[in-house]
Amino acid sequence: MKPQDLKFTKEHEWISRDGTVGISDHAQHELGDVVFVELPKVGVEKAQGSELGVLESVKSVSSVYSPVSGSVAKINDKLVQTPELVNKDPYGEGWIAQLKISDMQQLAALMTYDQYQAFVGK
Amino acid sequence: MPQKTPLYDLHLDNGGRMVEFAGWLMPVQFKGIIEEHNAVRENAGIFDIGHMGQIEVFDKDALQRLVTNDISLLAEWMGQYSFICNEDGTVLDDLIIYRLPDRFLVISNAVNAQNVFEKIKNADPNAAILYETRTAIALQGPLTLERFQKFVKADLKKLKHRQIIPVKINGSFDAVASRSGYSGEDGIELFFDKKAAADLWRQLLLESFEPCGLGSRDTLRIEAALPLYGHEIDAKTTPIDAGFDRFVRFEKGDFSGKEALLEQKKMGASKKLVGFELSGRAVPRQGYDIYSDGKKIGYVTSGTFSPTLKRSIGMGYLFAGTDETAGSPKVAIRDNYFDISFVKLPFYRRPKI
């Protein structure tokens, strides 16, 4: 996915129009080598800002928050065996989960790629 | 204001991600923790250890009364591992003590350097801490000797473990070099004049030494089960708790903490240091609890995903009287319990050549 087509949160998640969620390239870089991903369960309802998953890097642990409200439609099972995909391809194969978005207005209110780049000081 | 080692600017130029550690701005990583870790296990890496305390001590008897190991057993140009304890037997710091012809060189953890120095200075007014003039670099990994040999005349292969020798690097400046380290690999630690640090670091990079940060220093030492102050040892833990009785020489005479440690030796330790592996990839971290059959039996002091073994490993303390062979032990990570199995330490031992 092209990051220019995505929306971003202040907690460094991205979300596409079809509800796919991941973390930004900036976030994966800050986190360092990801060694474990705790994924949500399919079917679970997530409120905007609630914990969607957990990423463990060698050095630290950090939560992934749901950029919008919705139910978990799909999870990226590949991350169980190959968590390093989050580092290698944060906007592609390193996606974390897909949400069925319940309120498209929440999506619209998130930052564009340019706004996010400015937010992280790039 | 955090302090900077003489390599600070160079680390920034080389893409080092700087973090504050024990009052120092240090690189946590350059290319990545796992890549740096593997470079040290397979080839050779370099670490800036300019944050560590270098303390010169001149009064042998004074030092002997402070530390737990017996420095009278230490030959000239050799080093030994020791503790310096508080009067209650808890650890003030762990040290490497080198015996030079006219003095001792005591290497302490950055976080404790000032406290250790004050305690030593009280006993030996001539003692000095060398941050103003000296720094240190650690070269670690199986190819260290081969790659570093061209810098010095002395035959590095002949150095014994923890032997230290005076060397002239590139024929231009003096250093002391010891065969030692904190990674579980063969290696050399160099102690020398701050002014020569940046040039030497650049030359080591040209010899294919991988620049490594504190992140891989931690994963390497965990695999080798080397204790870290603030984790396995601290001001609530004695060397006896940590299972390091062999570095406590009761027969040598009086030393700081002796009475308390003797008492504990009689009564038994309050906890026991263990190593464990996890069934999943989740990472056990300091402070997480260890349970068995629903009862808390201990806690985690260090943990990581082991890049060498490719599984999660940890060290921790079990409370005295715990039977680690009984029940089904688990570590609590967030809301989940992961099965663990206790294993013999270290997790990793370098292949003998």
What is the domain-level CATH number for residue B211?
Answer: 3.30.1360.120
Residue A121 in any domain: the answer is: no
Instruction: Report the residue of chain B nearest A29, measured CA to CA.
Output: B32
- Last residue of one domain, picked from the residues B89, B110, B129: B129
Q: Which of B32, B218, B281 sits opposite A33 (nearest CB)?
A: B32
- In the numeric block, the tokens 């870290």 are attached to B228
Total of domains in chain B? 3
Restricting to B residues 196-235, those with a Cβ less than 8 Å away from any Cβ of A are: 215, 218-219
Q: What is the pLDDT of residue A1?
A: 87
Residue A55 in any domain: the answer is: yes
Q: Is A44 on the interface with B (CB under 8 A)?
A: no
Residue A109 in any domain: the answer is: no
Q: Is B285 on the interface with A (CB under 8 A)?
A: yes
- The neighbouring-strand residues paired with A117 are none
Residue B14 · residue B7 · CB < 8 Å: no
Statement to judge: residues B18 and B154 lie in one domain: yes
Residue B160 belongs to what domain range?
A: 3-49+131-223
Residue B259 in any domain: the answer is: yes
* A35·B305 Cβ contact <8 A: yes
Residue A57 in any domain: the answer is: yes
- Last residue of one domain, picked from the residues B103, B129, B155: B129
pLDDT at B192 over 80: yes
Residue B219 · residue B226 · CB < 8 Å: no
State mean pLDDT over B257-265: 96
Instruction: Report the residue of chain A nearest B310, measured CA to CA.
Output: A35
Length of chain A, in residues: 122
Statement to judge: residues B215 and B110 lie in one domain: no
Q: How far apart are the first and last CA of chain B?
A: 46
Q: Where are the alpha helices (DSSP H) in chain B?
A: 8-13, 33-42, 60-64, 113-123, 144-148, 197-206, 214-223, 258-267
**What is the rounded distance in angstroms from the CA atom of residue B152 to the CA atom of residue B170?**
6
Closest CA to B49 of B134, B118, B132, B115: B134
Total of domains in chain A? 1
Phi, psi of A29 (to 5 degrees): -65, -45
Question: A95: burial class by Cβ within 10 Å (0-12, 13-18, 19+)?
Answer: buried
Q: Where are the alpha helices (DSSP H) in B14-73?
A: 33-42, 60-64
Statement to judge: residues B64 and B91 lie in one domain: yes
Residue A10 in any domain: the answer is: yes
Q: Which of B29, B281, B307 sits opposite A32 (nearest CB)?
A: B29
Q: Which residues in chain B are contacts of A80 at CB distance < 8 A?
A: 281
Assembly ipTM: 0.84
CA of B303 to nearest chain A CA: how many angstroms apart? 9
**What is the rounded distance in angstroms from the CA atom of residue B344 to the CA atom of residue A9?**
45
Statement to judge: residues B176 and B205 lie in one domain: yes
**What is the rounded distance in angstroms from the CA atom of residue A99 to the CA atom of residue A44?**
10
Residue-wise pLDDT tens digits, A50-104: 999 999 998 889 999 999 999 999 999 999 999 999 999 999 999 999 999 999 9
- Helix or strand holding residue A29 (H, E): helix A25-31
Q: Which residues in chain B are contacts of A58 at CB distance < 8 A?
A: 33-34, 215, 219, 283, 304-305, 307
Residue A20 belongs to what domain range?
A: 3-103
The CATH number of whichever domain residue B315 belongs to comes to 2.40.30.110
The total of other beta-carbon atoms located within 10 Å of residue B193's CB is 16
Residue A114 in any domain: the answer is: no
Residue B350 in any domain: the answer is: no
Residue contacts between A and B (CB atoms, under 8 Å): 41
Residue B67 · residue B84 · CB < 8 Å: yes
State mean pLDDT over B136-165: 98
Q: Which residues in chain B are contacts of A56 at CB distance < 8 A?
A: 281-283, 305
Q: Which of B218, B283, B334 sits opposite A35 (nearest CB)?
A: B283
Residue A23 in any domain: the answer is: yes
**What is the rounded distance in angstroms from the CA atom of residue B46 to the CA atom of residue B251?**
39
Q: How far apart are the first and last CA of chain A?
A: 20
Statement to judge: residues B136 and B202 lie in one domain: yes
Residue B228 in any domain: the answer is: no
Residue B46 · residue B139 · CB < 8 Å: yes
Closest CA to B233 of B52, B94, B108: B94
pLDDT band at B353 (very low <50, low <70, confident <90, very high): low
Work out the mean pLDDT of chain B and round it to a whole number.
Answer: 96
The CATH number of whichever domain residue A77 belongs to comes to 2.40.50.100
Q: Which residues in chain B are contacts of A35 at CB distance < 8 A?
A: 281, 283, 305, 312
* A58·B304 Cβ contact <8 A: yes
pLDDT at B6 over 90: yes
Computed from CA positions of residues B224, B112, B240, B95, in that sequence, does the dihedral angle turn out positive or negative?
A: positive
Statement to judge: residues B290 and B337 lie in one domain: yes
Statement to judge: residues B111 and B153 lie in one domain: no
**What is the rounded distance in angstroms from the CA atom of residue B248 to the CA atom of residue B240?**
8
Q: Is B308 on the interface with A (CB under 8 A)?
A: no
Residue B273 in any domain: the answer is: yes
Q: Is B305 on the interface with A (CB under 8 A)?
A: yes
Residue-wise DSSP of B158-216: GPPTTBEEEEEETTTEEEEEES--SSSS-EEEEEEEGGGHHHHHHHHHHTTPEEE-HHH
Q: Which of B33, B280, B282 sits opposite A33 (nearest CB)?
A: B33
pLDDT at B326 over 90: no
Statement to judge: residues B165 and B300 lie in one domain: no
- Helix or strand holding residue A74 (H, E): strand A70-75
CA of B6 to nearest chain A CA: how many angstroms apart? 25
Statement to judge: residues B19 and B102 lie in one domain: no
Q: Which residues in chain A are contacts of B221 at CB distance < 8 A?
A: none
Residue B260 in any domain: the answer is: yes
Statement to judge: residues B305 and B178 lie in one domain: no
Q: Is B32 on the interface with A (CB under 8 A)?
A: yes
State mean pLDDT over A97-122: 95
- In the numeric block, the tokens 């024929």 are attached to B171
pLDDT band at B280 (very low <50, low <70, confident <90, very high): confident
pLDDT band at A118 (very low <50, low <70, confident <90, very high): very high
- Last residue of one domain, picked from the residues B99, B129, B159: B129
* B281·A36 Cβ contact <8 A: yes
* B32·A61 Cβ contact <8 A: no
Q: What is the pLDDT of residue B334?
A: 87
Residue B236 in any domain: the answer is: no
Q: What is the pLDDT of residue B1?
A: 87
Q: Which residues in chain B are contacts of A57 at CB distance < 8 A?
A: 33
Residue type, B163: Q
CA of B49 to nearest chain A CA: how many angstroms apart? 19
Q: What is the pLDDT of residue B325?
A: 85
Residue A118 in any domain: the answer is: no
- In the numeric block, the tokens 């464990």 are attached to B276
Statement to judge: residues B217 and B156 lie in one domain: yes
pLDDT at B117 over 70: yes
DSSP E strands, B30-163: 45-48, 53-57, 78-85, 91-99, 104-108, 128-129, 134-140
Statement to judge: residues B43 and B147 lie in one domain: yes
